[in-house]
Structure formats: C-alpha cells, structure tokens
Amino acid sequence: MNNYIFPEELDNFQVDGAEAIITATAGGNSVQFTQEGDEYDEVWISGLGDLFQDLSEGNPIKCELKTETEEGGICGEAFTLIRSAVQIGETAVNFCGRNFLNMQQGTKDTYIGAKELLTIYATKPAKPGWLYLTLTKTWADTETGEIVQTEQSVKSKYMIFQAGFCEWEFAVTADGAPREGLVLAEIEARRGDLIVQRYEVRECRDAAPVTLYYLNNFGVRDTFHFFGGTTRTVQAERESALFNDGRAYTRNYAVPPTTETTTRTGLLREESLRAFEDLCCARQAWNADGEEIYIKDNDLEYSNAYGSPQQGSITYGVSSARAKFRKEETADTFDKTFDEKFK
C-alpha cells in the first residue's frame, strides 16, 4: 500500500483466511468488526475508504488498518488518506504527482482582481522550508499583437515541515507590466515540470464578476468565478399579533428577512464543468466577504449538441442570522485611472 491514497484504493481490500477481525483507526477514532471469508478462504472488505472518511473530520487523515485472522496472521498498514467523494481513476501517488488538487480539467477563466488558490500534496521535504510556485504572465499589445512574458515566484502560505497539503494564494493583477499599453491575457502557474494550471484573463463587460470560495472534492480551499450576473432577493417573513394598551391594534413584532442570491456562470468552458459540479456538491462555501454560505439550489444541465452553450447558476443564502453590511463607495466620474499624467 502506498504512503498516501484515495478512498477508492480501499474499495476492495482482500485478506487470506476463513475469518478476519478488522480494526480501522483514523484521527484518534477506531472501529472494529468481523468479516467472514468466502468458500476460498478469502475475506473481501469493501467501503473501507468511506469508513475512514467517516471516522475523522481531519484532512488529510492519518490512518491505520489492522487485520487479524483465525490462523494467527496479523497485518498492520499505516497510511495517509486524502479525501475524495468521486472516483479519480488512478492512485493518489500518480495523480498528486501531476496535478493540483482541484477538479479543473484545463484552462480556467479568471479576471483582474480575482484571487486564486492552488494546493498540492507535498511529500516530506529534505529540510523544512517554503515551497515556491512559478507564475508566467503573458501580456498582449492589443494594437500591434506583440506578446511579452514575465515570471514571478509565489511563496507557499506556510512552511513545509512534513508531508501534507501545501497551498498557494495569489491575486490576479495587472501590476508588473513590462511597459505601458500591454494587457494581461494569460497566466500559467507551474510547480516543477509536471504540475501546471493555466488561466485566461477575461474582460468583464456585461456584469461585475463574483467569486465563491469552497472546500472542493479533495477537502482543500478552491475558487469558482461567475461572469453571468447576480440577482439578490429579500423576502421579509412578518409575524404579527394583536396588542391592547387601552386600544386594540395589530403590530408586527418580528420581521426576519430571508435573503437569497443567485449568481450565474455565463458561458462555461468545457474544462470547468466538473469544477462547477464540484462546487454544487460542496458542503462548505464562503462569499467574497468571508461569510459562510449554504447552497440552496443549482442549475446545471449538460448538452452534447454541437454549439450548445454550457452555463449554470447557484442560489445560496448566508449561514449567519446576521449578514454583514458593507457600505458601497460612491463611484466618482473619474476614477484612479485618471492620474496626474492626464493633465
């Protein structure tokens, strides 16, 4: 068994013997059960991956599997389990060696001002230290068509002392352009030679983009951007009663508001369909203000018709009984773009 695995790698676990006592330990919690063998004295155990995930809220999960047979055979395996609710189709060692831990299947759309999160499962370093991500930015001159590239390094959010998750967070900005007149068109994030994530920077002309943060299929932080516009509805649930203080009258004594927000993807890349599906199934998510939200509904329908646009929407509410109030700044006629150079 590998040092770190996905749950599916434990879907069909086999032990030789007429009967086996299985002890599963994860995150300090243990469960023990007995499984009988078949006519060939083979004990087959299914669903162990899900069992380990249920035993612990942690991620990744330090696990131990111990089997003991009637014949006196005792076997113990210690490993790390990386959460996954879907079948990845390959071992965690192979997948993590070539991919960031997300469900994006290719280029991701982003925008100026967005934040991006990327995570890998890092093996134990030779010595404690920071891990670095290389960002290659592609700039385009919209008049001449000239392409210029620049590079920068992004330090991991935490120092790496042992095997585990390593996260990077970076903002998509137009800062650092080699010269005036260049527009940021693409970003390539690279860790080593094999782990790559590409981004295309979209212009947002129709609506202000919205970003939601969530714990993805692998239990790590991720982002999804919506470009198709957002609507917010407020419905007051009024509770009234008859009062009498010398005169009879009816008054509302409680008016709790129910707020729903629906945000639309706009046209979805085919490479982003699984990532959007992943968000729809997320157990925890947050808005751009850091408020935890709960997803109430989603609209996502695939079509294989040629030229058929793929798009979807999410409807969510704020988990807290009191939503944050943020006073929007009034936009001036001339924003910060019009600096002293325009005199």
Q: How far is Cα 90 from Cα 271, in angstroms, rounded to an integer?
A: 19
Start-end of CATH 2.60.40 domains in the chain: 4-94
- Give me the pLDDT at residue 216, please: 97
Q: How far is Cα 62 from Cα 53, in angstroms, rounded to an integer?
A: 10
Q: How far is Cα 76 from Cα 31, in angstroms, rounded to an integer?
A: 15
- Give me the pLDDT at residue 58, please: 84
Q: Is the pTM of this model over 0.75?
A: yes
- Give me the pLDDT at residue 285, please: 97
- Give me the pLDDT at residue 106, please: 96
Measuring CA to CA, which residue among 18, 97, 25, 110 is closest to residue 61?
25
Enumerate residues 6+ apart whose C-beta is below 8 A from 137. Answer: 149, 150, 151, 152, 176, 184, 186, 187
Q: How far is Cα 318 from Cα 296, in angstroms, rounded to an integer?
A: 10
- Give me the pLDDT at residue 321, please: 67
Q: Please tell me the number of Cα atoms within 13 Å of 298 on its side-chain side.
A: 15
Span 4-94 CATH architecture: Sandwich (2.60)
Q: Give me 204's structure tokens.
A: 């947002």
Q: Taking the CA atoms of 234, 216, 122 and 79 in sequence, report the sign of the dihedral they define.
A: positive
**Taking the CB of residue 265, how many other CB atoms lie within 10 A of it?**
25
- Give me the pLDDT at residue 333, please: 54
Measuring CA to CA, which residue among 242, 240, 235 is closest to residue 256?
235
Q: Give me 319's structure tokens.
A: 């988990």
- Give me the pLDDT at residue 74, please: 83
Residue 160 DSSP code: B
**Low-confidence residues in the chain, pLDDT < 50:** none
pLDDT in tens, 221-242: 999 999 999 999 988 888 899 9
Could you please report the per-residue DSSP string of 105-139?
Answer: -S-EEE-TT-EEEEEEEEPPPSS-B--EEEEEEEE
